[in-house]
Structures are given as C-alpha cells and as structure tokens.
C-alpha cells in the first residue's frame, strides 16, 4: 500500500512511521518536519555490508554518500555501522569530523576542490581523495609535499556508460564535468602522471554512472570498462591498482511506478564481473568501494506538513498549499520528481481527489507535485510526502527567509530531535 514498509495506518486512521503516529509527531515537534527512520537506515547499511560479505568475501567498504543527508547524527550512525562516508566538501568533512567520524574512512570527492579543502583533507588525514582532473592532481602533489604527507588517491574516470536516467544527474558519459575520459586517453595519461608523483599514492580508480538507476546492466558494464582501464594502467605504468570504487546510484521506490531491485543484487552481479575480468587480465581482485546515498536514507524519510489553504480552480486544478515546499524539498522544482503523498490524519480514507501540492514560496514553480492522488484535503490536515530522506534536507534553502525544519529520528518506538528547527535568530546570524 505504501512505498516503504515502515508506513502503516493505526486504529485512529492515522499514518504511522516506524510504529509512531505521525499526527502526534506533528503536534509534538511542529511542522514542517523531516522524519527519519534510524532502524531502516541501519538496516540498509547492513544489507549492503552483508552483500559484500556474501558475494565479495568481505573485501570492500560501503561508503555512504553523505550528500544525500548530511548532519552529525547520520555520521555517528555510519560510524557505528562500520561504514565509510563519501564527502564532497570541506563542510561535509567538517561535519563528519565533528561527529567523531574517523577521517581514514572518508572518501573526498569533487570536480573543483579548493586548496583550502585539499589542505584540510590532508591535515585531518582523509583516507582517500578521488582526484578529478590534472590541475587538482598537481595541486594535491604540491600541497602534500609542503605538508609532508602522501595522500592515497583514486582517479575519477568517466567510463562512458549511459545509465538512462534524468539527464541532470547523469555523470558517466564523456560530456560530464566529472573525471577523466577513457576514450580520449586522458584517464590513462592521468595515471601515468600520478604514478610519477612523489607525494601521491595512487591506489585505484573510481566511477559513478548516475543516480536513481534500476537496471544492473549499466553497473556491470561500468565495472567491465573499469577493469579494462586498470589493465591498461598496469601495462602502461606497471602500477597495479588495488582499489575500485563503483560509486552509488541505486534506485529507490518513490511511487508505484518505480521497481527497485534488492540492494544485494547489485553486489551479487557486479562482483561476478569484477572477479571474472580480474582473472582474465591477471590482476588481483580489487578491494571494492560502493557509495550508495539515496538508497540508504531516501526510503527511510518522510516530510510532514500542515495544509494551509485549498484553492479550487474549476476545470483546471485544485491547489493544496502546505507550510513548506521547495525550500525543504526542491526536487520537484528541479527535476519534476514524483512523490507519493498521504493525509496523515485521514490515511484510512480513499484517495478520491487529485491535487497539485504547492509550497509557500513566492514562486509559481514552488510545487511538491502535480496530479497527486490524495484524500480530500482541508485546512489543518497533516500531509505526509513519502520517501524524502535523500536530497531534501541536504538541498534545502532559506529562500524567502524560510526556516529549515527540524529532523526527528525514530527508532525502536522512540523519537528524538537530531537537527533542531531553525529559528528567526538563525536567519539573521550572519547578517551585519
Ligand atoms: N558517489 C558519487 C561520486 C556521486 O556523485 C553520487 C551522487 C553518489 C555517490 C550517490 O549517489 P546515490 O546513491 O545517492 O544515487 N540531487 C540529485 C542527486 C544527485 C546525485 C549526485 N551524486 C537528486 O536529488 O536526485
């Protein structure tokens, strides 16, 4: 009935999340409110870890892509689950360090890392830096020399795989701002350069072919291409790359239209390809890293709003406006991403209406969805948008000087605030 199995309807007809009444949570913590099911997040981490144990002899690391949801508590959870984390900015590194996350289990990404960020990563001993371009490679070699360090790096490679997803989040093809292209020889050249550098420890290659992908074939193809690249690097430089990072991108269920594959299936099929190709090329089976973001936190989150107004425009559409919108979830405005919604206080009633859910920003494009099936909404109802755990809070903004909602974690029937709701004072904190 619902897109995630932690959602149900209780005897009051209210939507429950992780066993707790969402209407009660809305009253207790206020709206708009992000809810995250910690138990489900942990379960997803374990599924990925288990799949590496089962199909890859444990020779790998699950690095949660924290751009999907970054706050101190999520890094604590990842630490306690024995996961690594993928970071993409000095801000994410800082947040994770502040939460006590060990730097050695961080991977640092980015197509335009600043000197400040690279130096910060070196100073704190970030475990792996994924180098995106030659300018960065040279800069890192210089900074590492100055700091007396020798960072472990992987090269970001474009395997040229089209993952059939939304073009905004497609990164595997040649026309991408990320990484070195294989086709042009650029990727091999980067390995030649890196292998010669005194202050660089080149250990592997990385690729990420896109996001919200349901098909396993593009991942298998990417793995095959990457092993071919590792073979070429070995032949050309003599360097045996011992690590392969295959990125993230595993799809989740936002609506009934989405049919994700079980997370374990990815490793099951990818590991076969990697092992087979390594044997064929006479290379050691590489240590593998994967970077799921959306699939770890996405299905584990919902956002709860209060309905303010209902506006019926005959023969056109019915608007239902809520006390949030593109500020807490810009994904419909950016990508026309579809979500399921339910009236939390009328969850036992049929969805006999079709509405446009609008936010409160001064912007016509501030929508959370169009043609959304919903129970009949009236002012004061509580509306839940489902599967919002990824790329909602992390992409939120203060546009129109709206305050960011709190995040409440639910675990074992208990709830607690993990990110406080912003206040008016927070909004003017940096204003002079
Ligand atoms: N690794 C790298 C290098 C990435 O660039 C990304 C996502 C991931 C891992 C995690 O991918 P995931 O497992 O979450 O699909 N804002 C967009 C998504 C952008 C994804 C960017 N990179 C959205 O809201 O759909």
pLDDT of 163 reads 79
Q: How remote is the CA of residue 129 from the centroid of ligand 1, in Å?
A: 17
Tokens of residue 255, six digits: 């609506």
Taking all residues of the chain, what is their mean pLDDT, rounded to a whole number?
96
- Which one is the CATH code of 7-30+300-427: 3.30.2230.10, 1.10.443.10, 2.40.37.10, 3.30.70.890? 2.40.37.10
Phi, psi (rounded to 5 degrees) for 287: -65, 135
The 10 Å Cβ neighbour count of residue 359 is 27
Going by pLDDT thresholds of 50, 70 and 90, the confidence category of residue 49 is very high
Going by pLDDT thresholds of 50, 70 and 90, the confidence category of residue 160 is confident
Going by pLDDT thresholds of 50, 70 and 90, the confidence category of residue 165 is low
pLDDT of 170 reads 59
pLDDT of 166 reads 64
Q: Evaluate if residue 226 carries a pLDDT over 80.
A: yes
Residues 157-164 have a mean pLDDT of 84
| Interval 360-419: pLDDT, tens | 999 999 999 999 999 999 999 999 999 999 999 999 999 999 999 999 999 999 999 999
The top-level CATH class assigned to 38-297 is alpha beta
Interior CA angle at 283 toward 278 and 285, to 5°? Answer: 60
* Nearest atom in ligand 1 to 68's CA: 14
| Interval 75-105: pLDDT, tens | 999 999 999 999 999 999 999 999 999 999 9
Q: How remote is the CA of residue 179 from the centroid of ligand 1, in Å?
A: 15
Q: Which residues of 140-164 are buried (b: 16+ CB within 10 A; e: fewer)?
A: bbebbeeeebebbbbbbbbbbbebe
Residues 138-164 have a mean pLDDT of 94
Q: Evaluate if residue 345 carries a pLDDT over 70.
A: yes
pLDDT of 167 reads 57
| Interval 227-272: pLDDT, tens | 999 999 999 999 999 999 999 999 999 999 999 999 999 999 999 9
Ligand 1 cavity residues, CB under 6 Å: 65, 68, 86, 109, 169, 208, 211, 247-250, 291-295, 331, 391
What share of the chain in percent tops pLDDT 90? 95
Closest Cα to atom 9 of ligand 1: 248
pLDDT of 173 reads 67
Report how far apart, in Å, the C-alpha atoms of 345 and of each of 28, 107, 328, 342, 418 are: 15, 42, 21, 9, 24
Name the residue ranges covered by the structural domains of the chain: 7-30+300-427, 38-297
Sequence-separated (6 or more) residues with CB below 8 Å from residue 33 = 25, 26, 303, 304, 405, 406, 408
pLDDT of 174 reads 75
Nearest-angstrom CA–CA distance, 159 and 180 = 9
Residues 276-298 have a mean pLDDT of 98
pLDDT of 68 reads 98
Q: How remote is the CA of residue 211 from the centroid of ligand 1, in Å?
A: 5
Is 45 known to be catalytic? no
* Nearest atom in ligand 1 to 211's CA: 15
């Amino acid at each position: 009935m619902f897109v995630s199995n932690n959602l149900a309807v209780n005897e009051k007809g209210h939507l429950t999340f992780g066993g707790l009444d969402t209407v009660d949570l809305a009253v207790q913590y206020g709206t708009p409110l992000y809810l995250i099911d910690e138990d489900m997040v942990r379960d997803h981490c374990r599924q990925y870890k288990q799949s590496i144990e089962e199909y890859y002899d444990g020779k790998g690391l699950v690095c949660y892509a924290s751009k999907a949801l970054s706050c101190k508590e999520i890094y604590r959870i990842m630490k306690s689950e024995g996961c690594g984390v993928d970071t993409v900015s000095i801000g994410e590194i800082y947040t994770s360090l502040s939460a006590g996350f060990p730097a050695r289990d961080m991977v640092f990404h980015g197509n335009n890392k600043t000197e400040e960020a690279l130096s910060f990563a070196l100073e704190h001993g970030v475990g792996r830096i994924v180098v995106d371009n030659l300018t960065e490679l040279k800069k890192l070699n210089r900074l590492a020399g100055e700091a007396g360090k020798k960072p472990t790096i992987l090269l970001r490679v474009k395997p040229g795989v089209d993952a059939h997803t939304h073009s905004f989040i497609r990164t595997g093809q040649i026309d991408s701002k990320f990484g070195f292209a294989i086709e042009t020889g650029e990727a091999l050249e980067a390995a030649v350069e890196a292998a010669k550098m005194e202050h660089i420890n080149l250990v592997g290659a990385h690729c990420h072919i896109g996001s919200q992908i349901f098909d396993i074939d593009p991942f298998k193809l990417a793995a095959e291409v990457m092993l071919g690249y590792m073979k070429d690097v070995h032949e050309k430089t003599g360097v045996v790359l011992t690590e392969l990072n295959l990125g993230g991108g595993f799809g989740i269920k936002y609506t009934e239209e989405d049919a994700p594959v079980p997370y374990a299936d990815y490793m099951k099929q990818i590991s076969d390809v990697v092992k087979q190709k390594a044997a064929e090329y006479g290379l050691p089976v590489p240590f593998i890293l994967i970077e799921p973001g959306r699939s770890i936190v996405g299905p584990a989150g919902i956002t709860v709003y209060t309905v303010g107004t209902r506006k019926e425009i005959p023969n056109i559409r019915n608007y239902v406006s809520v006390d949030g919108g593109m500020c807490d979830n810009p994904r419909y405005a950016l990508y026309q991403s579809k979500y399921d919604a339910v009236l939390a206080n009328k969850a036992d009633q049929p969805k006999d209406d079709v509405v446009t859910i609008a936010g409160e920003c001064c912007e016509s494009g501030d929508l959370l969805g169009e043609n959304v099936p919903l129970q009949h909404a009236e002012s004061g109802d509580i509306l839940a948008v489902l599967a919002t755990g990824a790329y909602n809070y992390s992409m939120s903004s203060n546009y129109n000087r709206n305050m960011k909602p709190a995040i409440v974690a639910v675990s074992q029937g208990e709830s607690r605030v993990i990110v406080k709701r912003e206040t008016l004072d927070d909004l003017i904190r940096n204003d002079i």
